[in-house]
Structure 1
Amino acid sequence: MISRVQTKLVKDTSCTNGVGKVSDVLEGVKVLDLSRILAGPYCAQMLADLGAQVTKVEAPWGDDTRGWGPPFLEDGTAAYHLSCNRGKEIIFHDLKKDKQAIQDLISKSDVVIENFRPGQLERLIGPIPNDVILCSITGFGQTGPRSQEPGYDLALQAMSGIMSITGEEGAGPVKVGVAWIDIITGLYAGNAILAALFKRERTGKNSHIDVSLWDCAIASLANQGQNQITSGQNPGLLGSGHPNLVPYQAFQTTDGWVVIAVGSDSQFEKLSQYLEFENVWSTNELRVNSRKEVVDMVQSKVIDMTKSQVCDLLEGIPTSPINKISEAIADAQSIARGVVTEWNGESVLASPLRFISEREK
């Protein structure tokens, strides 16, 4: 049996920071989190940040992510689990044996979040009452030929095309450095739940929300997806480069890497002046069509500089060092914004949401 020491909700500490706090926007809203791993728990954590009372049900042996380490907390729980479960009260039930207990929890909830395969939750515990908002998060959705297939972030990054555009040319595809699709699916689900709560406030009707990793992955292709639809051509691997802008990527310096993100012709003209080369690519179209030549020119000019020298020189042009996570967290802006806070005695990443003040009409 898992220890319950770390599960009690500490109401204020998960939301405070140096600027303001995520207020009690959802105070009084009761959320039952029956989901596992990341997408669903991340969604429920966001609702907890907004003031909802979130109760998470885990199996008696705990969520799988409790063992996804190292690193581990002092109580033996993996840091991964803490990253998407702060702000919740966690209880333990065997859904197969404790059907009535789960139904009782549902009857007291406004929102239920689950990520079982379509129809599986009902087969386990019986029908879900219509007087709650039900958010079902699955790999491929409630309908379609793949609806009964499980969904995993890495597999979805591969299948959706994300990995086909991530990585250096010649080196092969790579995944995004975090569970990208799980995270955005959690955010989409959170948005849908907020909309469903608003709808219920206006109409009194509850919604069953169908959110899938597949749909969210395809939606996240954004400009790359639209580029393919419009041109009929599949984009390839560009590393840190941009399919529609040049130069807009990472460049090596003597002590690390920087990114230079030129977003306009005027910025490129400034770049040519700062780095002292002739601007023979005065439009973005010319630069995209001469990508290698432009990138090689810029790289040759910064290769003997330090990161700070490049950033100082290119004032007015979006230029940043490529930081390690520790450097980003220690940045003065991070400290000012309170991006790290405390929950139950552990340092955790804070909610990025800030409710600064009430605006009077």
Structure 2
Amino acid sequence: MSDLNEVSEVSDVSGKPAEGFQGPLAGLRVVDLSKILAGPYTTMSLADLGAEVTKVEHPDGGDPTRKWGPPFNGPDATYYLAANRNKRSVTLDLKSAEGQEAVHRMLAGADVLVENFKPGSSLAEVFRYDLLSERYPRLVVLHISAFGETGPLRLEPGYDMVAQASAGLMSLTGEPDGPPVKAGYAMGDLGAALFGTIGVTSALVERERTGRGQYLTTSLYETQLALHINWATAYFATGETPTRLGSGHPSLVPYQAYPAQDGYFVIAVGNDAMFQQLCRLLERPDLAADPRFTRNRDRVEHRKELNAELEAVLGTDTVGNWCALLKAGGVPVTPIRGLDEVYGSEQTAALGMVRTVEHPEAGPLQQVAFPVNFRGERPAVRSAPPTLGQHNHEVLSALGYDDDAIARLTGTTDPEED
């Protein structure tokens, strides 16, 4: 297994460094034929866990997210830089026979292939699992699509926002009297990436028992349904279509953001005893005694009335004062922080969640680290997101190509549209 280009990992926060930590997937090889976010985030997660990931991109521009800016940092957009660290980049035209042959040479020594080819595209046909499994019976293949393998929408392309709209998330997000709103994160893409990572690691465990790989599929649509959890089960039980609640919770009250004199903060009351304590701290014992509010089920039914009472009280003081008072009294509470506050906080620093790695063109590059510790160590940010074709010679020469062949394989050609 070839070493990734050497870079220095310098933690700009406290927290135990991961020097020498290889990760539980060390020794596994992953070929990444995906682009945009769901596939690349899956493969970055596998890379963070120690796998050697080779990202294959078209010579003419590579992954489209390299241009999804501003902002840019060096030659690439920060969107691309967010989901492609710890990988190597090779440029190949997969529509050419030579490019396909180079990928097959990679697959001969690979454990995992991740792709998100458009349904019905020529590449989906060329790299069909039944063909691959004949040549590489131990290969685990993950295919990520917008809507899944079956059903009337199976051939539809899709982006994160399409998934959020079509799978119901936007219908649940926003103020009750306002328009539907997408989630602040790309939950369609990221949901598929997280479930895809779980699928791949599970298939690798099963391969240890059976000796064979398998074909895994997931989609932005399916994983959004899986994340509905309590919303879906409530709908199944009642038949009632849920509506937007702003920051409110469908099953708990008070459990949302409230306005103070100088901004917003969150109160999260999880039981009746906690509500009684809140009322004592707010010097409103009458609310705890009101039969409309005594039990959580009653508070949910009279959400609007209770929130009006609470807002009248909470608007009389500042976020800082309310948070200090309620926190001291044991009521879960927090100000709503911006990213400047989040990444400047002592908690983020203590967890060591920000790492700095040297990028060959952008210089020092900050990255949000993998959020799971192993034996008290966090997986390392071993290398920066690669520049386009940065590892062409390293990877292709190891596959047996000479300099002339590498130059021919990695040259720029006009991409053919499917």
Give the TM-score, by structure 2 length: 0.80
1:343 aligns with 2:357: yes
Aligned to 1:270: 277
1:13 aligns with 2:13: no
What CA distance in whole angstroms lies between the structure 1 residues aligned with 2:195 and 2:8?
A: 25
- Other structure's SS at 2:247 match: coil
Aligned to 2:146: 139
Contact 2:113 2:139 in 1 (8 A): yes
Aligned to 1:24: 23
What CA distance in whole angstroms lies between the structure 1 residues aligned with 2:323 and 2:274?
A: 14
- Other structure's SS at 1:31 match: strand
- Other structure's SS at 2:213 match: coil
Bigger RCO of structures 1 and 2 (CA < 8 A, at least 6 apart): 2
CA shift for structure 1 position 116: 0.8
Q: Write the mapping of 1:278-317 to structure 2, written as runs, cut at 5 A.
A: 278=286, 279=288, 280=290, 281-315=293-327, 316-317=330-331
The one of 258, 261, 272 equivalent to 2:268 is 261
- The two structures, once aligned, show a CA RMSD in angstroms of 1.9
Further displaced range: 97-106 or 240-249: 97-106
Contact 1:55 1:89 in 2 (8 A): yes
Contact 1:115 1:136 in 2 (8 A): yes
CA shift for structure 1 position 118: 3.9
Task: Write the letter of the residue equivalent to 1:355.
Answer: F
What CA distance in whole angstroms lies between the structure 1 residues aligned with 2:218 and 2:153?
A: 14
Contact 2:138 2:207 in 1 (8 A): no
CA shift for structure 1 position 304: 2.2
Larger radius of gyration: 2
Aligned to 1:334: 348
Distance 1:12 1:112, change over 3 A: farther
Task: Write the letter of the residue equivalent to 1:101.
Answer: A
- Other structure's SS at 1:234 match: coil
What CA distance in whole angstroms lies between the structure 1 residues aligned with 2:239 and 2:282?
A: 37
Gaps of 5+ in 1: 1-7
Contact 1:20 1:355 in 2 (8 A): no
CA shift for structure 1 position 122: 4.2
Task: Write the letter of the residue equivalent to 1:334.
Answer: T
Contact 2:32 2:113 in 1 (8 A): yes
Contact 2:14 2:349 in 1 (8 A): no
Aligned to 1:4: none
Further displaced range: 26-35 or 298-307: 298-307
1:171 aligns with 2:178: yes
1:80 aligns with 2:100: no
1:354 aligns with 2:373: yes
Contact 1:103 1:125 in 2 (8 A): no
Aligned to 2:404: none
Gaps of 5+ in 2: 359-363, 378-418
What CA distance in whole angstroms lies between the structure 2 residues aligned with 1:340 and 1:292?
A: 41
CA shift for structure 1 position 305: 1.5
Aligned to 1:108: 109
- Other structure's SS at 2:343 match: helix
Aligned to 2:393: none
- Other structure's SS at 1:317 match: coil
Contact 2:138 2:211 in 1 (8 A): no
Task: Write the letter of the residue equivalent to 2:81.
Answer: L
Aligned to 2:54: 55
- Other structure's SS at 1:269 match: helix
Task: Write the letter of the residue equivalent to 2:325.
Answer: L
What CA distance in whole angstroms lies between the structure 1 residues aligned with 2:195 and 2:216?
A: 11
Contact 2:32 2:115 in 1 (8 A): yes
Identity %: 39
Task: Write the letter of the residue equivalent to 2:208.
Answer: E
What CA distance in whole angstroms lies between the structure 2 residues aligned with 1:170 and 1:331?
A: 34
- Other structure's SS at 2:9 match: coil
Contact 2:139 2:212 in 1 (8 A): no
Give the TM-score, by structure 1 length: 0.92
Contact 1:182 1:213 in 2 (8 A): yes
